[in-house]
Amino acid sequence: KLDHKDPPDWLIFNSIRWLPLIERWHPEFPELDPAWVLAIVAQESQGFPDLIASDRVGSVGLMQIAPFEWRPSASELKNPSVNIRWGMGILNELVSRHPTDLRLVFAIYNCGEIGVEIGRCGRHGGFAYAELVLEYWVPILRGAVHQVAAGGYPELADWMQQFYPE
């Protein structure tokens, strides 16, 4: 079990404010729990849409998407809607390939299939990243989503009810 302090309120707000975009793209990716997407946003970018990583590929934006030549450009990936749609698409593909192993899904999202296979994800990547996302961020953000639903966002509350019934 991971032992971490609660994140600051600003980080939760900065991540959960992207929930309307997750709802927008969700019809294309109905198997995805919104808390999974928010958890990646929180861990990868702390909700800052124009963040560029110092990794070898220059991952970009909310969900830290690598701007490979067959994906949108780095400047396009700074657009929150584009970034979340691509991140959800990647996550959805991984869930469809590994539907019974979310830990593996998040490890691959972070480190890539080959990196996970050969164990080259570093001390904080791969399965360590997956455990942090699943055991720390997902429960925290599910709780935050409940608060949003209870806080007077009727347009999101009905949609969120399917994931988090009372």
Taking only the tens place, the pLDDT of each residue in 24-63 is: 999 999 999 999 999 999 999 999 999 998 887 889 999 9
What percentage of the chain carries pLDDT values higher than 90? 66
Q: Are 120 and 105 in contact (CB under 8 A)?
A: no
The predicted structure's pLDDT at residue 88: 98
The predicted structure's pLDDT at residue 83: 97
Q: Are 127 and 103 in contact (CB under 8 A)?
A: yes
Least confident of 50-59, 99-108, 122-131: 50-59
Helix, strand or coil, per DSSP, at residue 52 = strand
pTM of the model: 0.90
Average confidence (pLDDT) over 76-98? 97
Residue that wins the pLDDT comparison between 157 and 11: 11
The predicted structure's pLDDT at residue 163: 72
Residue that wins the pLDDT comparison between 165 and 2: 165
The predicted structure's pLDDT at residue 60: 95
Per the rule left: phi > 0, alpha: psi between -120 and 50, beta: everything else, 4 is beta
Confidence class for position 2, pLDDT limits 50, 70, 90: low
Q: Return the exposure string of 24-42: e unless at least 16 CB atoms fall within 10 Å of the residue's CB, then b.
A: ebbeebeebbbbbbbbbbb
